[in-house]
Every structure is written in structure tokens, then in C-alpha cells.
Chains A and B, each alone.
Chain A
Amino acid sequence: MKKVLFFAGAMLLIVVALYQCKTKGAATATTSDAAEKAYVAPGTHDEFYNFVSGGFNGNVSVYGLPSGRLLKIIPTFTVFPENGYGFSEETKAMLTTSHGWIPWDDQHHMSVSETDGIQDGRWLFANANNTPRVARIDLTTFKTVEILEVPNSGGNHSSPFITENTEYVVAGTRFSVPLDGKPDVPIDSYKENFNGTLSFISVDPGNGHMKIAFQVLMPGMAFDLARGGRGPSKDWMFFSCYNSEQANTLLEVNASQNDKDFIIAVNWKKAEEYVKAGQGKRMTTRYAHNMLNEETHTASTSWENEVLLLDPTELADFVYLMPCPKSPHGCDVDPTGKYIAASGKLAAVIPVFSFDNMLKAIADKNYDGEYNGIPVLKYDAVLHGEVQKPGLGPLHTEFDANGNAYTSMFVSSEIVKWNVESLEVLDRVPTYYSIGHLCVPGGDTKKPWGKYVIAYNKITKDRFLPTGPELTQSAQLYDISGDKMKLILDFPTIGEPHYANAVPADLIKDKSVKIYKLEDNKHPYVAKGEGEAKVERRGNEVHVYMTAIRSHLTPDNIEGVKVGDDVYFHVTNLEQDWDIPHGFTIKGSKTTEILVMPGETQTLYWKAEKAGVIPFYCTDFCSALHQEMQGYVRVSPTGSNVPLKFGTGVEPVQ
């Protein structure tokens, strides 16, 4: 038998080898030990969590590395049918904005919280690109616990990048717009009436709560990406911009006129001093602040009414511009904090700026004039050097712990490895196809964990089985432990992956919450035990305090509901064991279903629209008798005198 298998294996290898020779296509680039390197045996765990943006699906997905196995989708800016996020009464408020309730956004970037420039695994911040918001995800529960809207912004692309101790999360607007309060102006009055803002959102070091501390008021242009300084540059935040031309139409051409746009350096420590000294202008506006209370399991919205604007043309010495060739995109600080790599999308080189040189140029007032009243530093004075012939279309750069940088090249579809000090190109590998962002575990921090670089690609074409015109997008894992990068795995992704972070599992897994303690449940409609299960009528509202435990719902027979009633099923899962959720839905439910974790209470709203006996049941297979976990609501005509009755397993109590 063994011999036969060996023979078959050998034949297969030969066939594969022949096939590879023939096609020179998709399957050529892997090495023979790739499978072993990406293999995580059944029942064992991955080494890293990989938090990947969902792009136009608006949520964050979590993969294990090196296996590429999908572990979870964290509902963030988009409703999620799997657990009722955005549908349950408890979670609806998370998607509230000053524009109303928004079911679906576009999620691009993330940052894992840091202490002293090193990932601490407490929170994950994520941006909403379309209707400008920043979310905070708690990495003990993998739940979105806070969403803060950003006013005076026209699309939150340059976000949510953080400072070295997570003092601030930033939010730079992609579109400059007329500020809130003077909305109706001609579009071609961009130069006079449009502004960009760079918001600095403070993060409470204890509970993580976010607050807009101040907004830097910038001339109208488009802010693209950002990165916090670290070590010597820790007091600074760097933003990239394009459209310094201030075009309002056909940006493809009109925003590519200037030879150079800018990297904007903001000294946030200095800005803090201005804030403390009472400088800046308070402006009235309105934006939503949504918080999930983990004791009541319920989100609520509060309204903020003010922001503080700091104008760098009035407050000196805290904002400087560094000229950067050709519409820079990525703006990435190396682990030492000494260098800033900027990628001009249309540039033939990657300029690397030196923080020391920048400080010197500022001290020497080595200016190349001003841009709308903000000092522009001389390019040659701030430059560390340029990476020559890196490839076409540089976008983003991540770093390893050995002084190397990895830059994604969209147009030439490759990753290029170069040395930060010498600027010498060391290696290049193809990506399949059209890489956007890339990620080295910890590669955006003071302490890169290294080991892998992951490419997040925009196009997959022939890489996977075809699924009609709409194809999956993908990530590709490369081993970077040696001198040469080696492709070891392709894996499909949920939505369109933009930026991603990878975090050692050890920083997160032991803190993972297993259940919610029933004792601590402060939901106003909790039933802590079947003794508290009941049905209450308040006018046209009927509140069912329901409990779920393997394998029955209490009450499971309800009578006395009338046509026109608004019925709220508040389901408390009485289980206190890990991984025993219960689900709930009722026929005709327009708010679909809810999924309730052990010890949690979640509410499904249902309108009783016609008379009848309506079935409900548990939607999550929970036990051998899951199929028996079901019940009925009797709905009687409006005005009928059927009394309210409910119960389980006994004659219904009246």
C-alpha cells in the first residue's frame, strides 16, 4: 500500500512539475517547503491574529497566521446577519450618525493599541471611510464597543493611526469640504471655501473612551494616510496629502500637476500646549458618539456639540510641510522613529525623510516658502535619501526588526525589500495581483515581530476557482525569515482588504472573555432565571422577558398578544458555559434573528400584524433537543378580550 502511495505521490509531483513548466503562471512562485510553513495542524492554534479591513463590506475580519484560516468577522460599521448586529434593539444605536442610521460603510484601516510604541493587544481601532467615523473594538470580547463620528470631514481615509502610547487616534479627511455650518457654496470656490481637518481623538488610557481633543484646520486638499512618530519622533504625527493643486474636478489630471505634494508633520505635543493655554476656536457642530455598555449589553448614542479648531496659520510652530514627489499615498515611520518613507503613487523613487534633518531644517528656518500660510521645508534639507528604481506605483511600507523595509508596488504588482539606512533594494517578489496594502506583524511599530509579510491584493483573476464575474479578493503570505522573501500561502479574504495588523496570539488569547456572568448582567429587561421570565403589557407594547437554556425557551406559550402590538422579545441566555449561544427568531420577523451569548440579553422587535398562532424557535443548534426548542405566540384580533397568559411546561399562569 505504502509503495503504491509513494508511486502515486511521485507521479503527482512529476505532473505538477510539468504543469508548472508549461504554464509559468499562477502556481510557479512557491517553494517546496511552503505547505509545511503555512500548516497549522488540526486542533492547534495559529501564532498570530491577523485583523484585516473589510473594505466595502464595512467590517473587520480576523484570520489566523500562518494558516490563513478565517476565525471571525467583527461587525463594525455594517449590520451583520450572523449575530444580529445592527438589527437587535441593543446594537442599533452603534450605527447612528448625524446623517441618521447607516447600515453599511467602507472600512479601510486599523491600528492595534500600543504602549511605548509596542502592540499591547487591548483595542483595535478601525475607520469608516465614507461617513467619517472611528470605531474601537475591545480585544477581550472582539466586539465593537465605541464609534465616534468625525465632524468637519468629508471621508475619513487618513485614519485611525495612533501615537506611541495610544494618546491619540487621528482622523484626516480625504475630501476637503466647506466646514459644517457654511454648507452651500459653489463647488468651484474650493480654494476660498473648502478646508481639510486633521482630527486628534484622545483615548482614555483606562477605559479607552474616545473624545475629539482638537482638529487642525488645514487648507483645502486631500489627506491620504498617516503614521505616528515613535522614539525620538514620538511627539509628531505625519500625514500624506495629494491635490495640493486644490482642484475640484478631474483630479486624475488636475491633482497631478504639481511636481510635489506634501508630507505634513504635526507636533501634537505643541498642539496640546495651545489647547491647555486656551488657544484655538470652539465651533458648534453636531456628531454622534455611540457606546456599548458591556453590563447592560446595550449601545446608546450621545450627541457631541462642539470641536476645537487649531489654525496653524495663527498658531506658529506646530505644523510643517515636507515636499514629496507625485501624490504621496503611504507615509510610514520606521521602527527607530528616525525615518519616514513616503510613497508617491506616480513617482519613480521612494523618498525617505529624516526626522533629525527635519528638526534641523525647522531650527534653521530652512524654508522653501509657504503654502497657504504654512511653512514648507526644503526637500533636500529634510531628505535622508531616495530608493532608486524600486518598481512602479509604490503605495505602502512596513518594516522588520532588522532595518529592512517592504514596499508594495501596485502597478508592477510586487513587494520590494530595501534597507532603510542604505536605501539599497535587496529583493523583490511578484504578487498575484495588484497589491494594495501589506503588513508585517508589528511592522508599523517600534517592535516588529517580523517572520512574515502579507500582501493584500486587489485582483485575483485566475488564482482561485472561478465564481462568475465577481471574484474573491485575497491575501498572500510570504516568509521573510531569510534574505529572500518566499511565497508560502494564498488565502481568500472577506470584502476588499485594505490595511491590516497582525498581533502575536499570546498578547490576546489568554484575555479572551468566555462568557458574560449572569450575576453582572444589568440589562433592564434581563430575566436572571426562569422565575423572572414573564410577559408585560404596556399599552400597545408587549415585553417578553424570555430565558433560553438547553433546550427550552421560557415562556414558550404566549397568549393575549393583539394585532398591532409592538412585541419585544428580550432573550436572556442562562447558560454559563463557553461557546453555548442560543438564537431566536419568530416567523415574519423583519429584524431577522438574534444570537445571544451565555449570560447575555438581546432583544428582537416584532410587530404582530395579523391574527394567528405564530411559531418561534432557537436558531443556533445547541443540543440534542435543539429542534424541540420552540414555542408559539397567539395573536388575537385588535380589541379581543383574550387575556395575557404565558408559561413553559406547565399550565400557563394567568
Chain B
Amino acid sequence: MKALHSFILLLSLTLAACGGGTSNESEAQATPPAMTPEEKMLAEGKGVGEIKFVELKTPLEAERVDRGKAIYDMKCAACHKLTDKRFVGPGFQDVTNRRKPEWIMNMVTNVEVMLEKDEEAQKLLQLCLTRMPNQNVSIGDARDILEFMRSNDGEK
């Protein structure tokens, strides 16, 4: 099944590549007719995993920020600093502007599959050369971490 998906993806990419620079009509034809929901998520930069949609509220939810910081201190801070400096993994600064919230939460809760399937995650692995570990973070905890990241990026 996985092989079939890869094949379809490859086929669509090939078709898309062929379609480059031709008329609108042929571009429309090149759009894959049956994109799976997973492929759609990946294509939209949301990553792969259980998190399909995250609703962000303004102002920030203060309790989430506090809880998120506590989890960050325990499970993330050893490798991710809050600046833009890369340590073992990338610094957190600006991450909420670089990535969609769904991508961030999927990366935190579903890292093995993300590293297998998500191109952006794979680029980070090539850069950092250490596989991000699965830190057994629940979806609720990941949401709190996201809120803390938003706060770290200056959102109010």
C-alpha cells in the first residue's frame, strides 16, 4: 500500500514536472485526481499525524503557556533553545511563523512518521544529524507547547 502511494506520488510529481511552463489547461490535468487526505496534509505543510486542524485563539491562553513551558523545560530544553541558535535541534525562535501549528504538533507527537514522510522534517534531520526523539508527548501537552512557542515568538 505504501509502495502504491509512493508510486502515485512519484507519478504525480513526474506529471507535475512535465506540466511545468505549459498552458493552464494541462496544469489542471496534472493535478492528481485522487490525493489521499495524508498527501493533502503534507502538501499543505501540515505534516502527517493525528492533528488535522488547530484553532489558535488571541489573546494567548495563559494557562497553556505556563503548562507548555513546564513541559518544554522537562522534555525539550535539552536540545532546543529559545533563541534562533541551533543546539542539538533548531532554536525555537520564530518557529510559529516558519511552520503551521498542525505541523508543529504533528512533529512533536508523531516524529517517527514525520521523519519518514515529511520533506521539511527530513531536511531538518539532514541539517541536525540527530533524529528527534519521541518524547511521549500527548496531544494536549503538544498543544500547550505550541502556545508556549507562540508566546516565545512575541504573540500576546
A residues within 8 Å of B by Cβ? 515, 517-519, 528-532, 547, 549-552, 554, 574-577, 580, 623-625, 649
Contacts and interface: CB of A to CB of B under 8 A. Distances in A.
A278 B134 CA distance: 57
B78 A518 contact: no
B74 interface: yes
17 contacts: A519-B74, A529-B73, A530-B77, A547-B78, A549-B133, A550-B88, A551-B88, A552-B78, A574-B78, A575-B133, A575-B135, A576-B134, A577-B134, A577-B135, A577-B136, A623-B130, A623-B131
B133 A528 contact: no
B127 to A, nearest CB: 14
B45 to A, nearest CB: 25
Instruction: Name the prevailing secondary structure of the B interface residues.
Output: loop
Given A551-B88, A576-B136, A577-B135, A625 B73 contact: no
B79 interface: yes
Instruction: Name the prevailing secondary structure of the A interface residues.
Output: loop
Contacts of B134: 576-577
Interface of B: 73-75, 77-79, 87-88, 129-131, 133-137
Given A529-B74, A649-B87, A551 B136 contact: no
Contacts of A575: 133, 135
Nearest to B111: A577
B75 A551 contact: no
Contacts of B73: 528-532
B130 A624 contact: yes
A550 B133 contact: yes
B130 A625 contact: yes
B97 to A, nearest CB: 25
Given A518-B74, A623-B131, 9 more contacts: A515-B136, A529-B73, A549-B88, A550-B130, A552-B88, A574-B78, A576-B137, A577-B133, A623-B130
A518 to B, nearest CB: 6
Nearest to B134: A577
Contacts of A623: 130-131
A391 B135 CA distance: 59
Given A515-B136, A517-B136, A549 B78 contact: yes
A623 B73 CA distance: 22
A581 B131 CA distance: 15
B78 A576 contact: no
B78 to A, nearest CB: 4
A625 B77 CA distance: 18
Contact of B129 (A517, A519, A624): A624
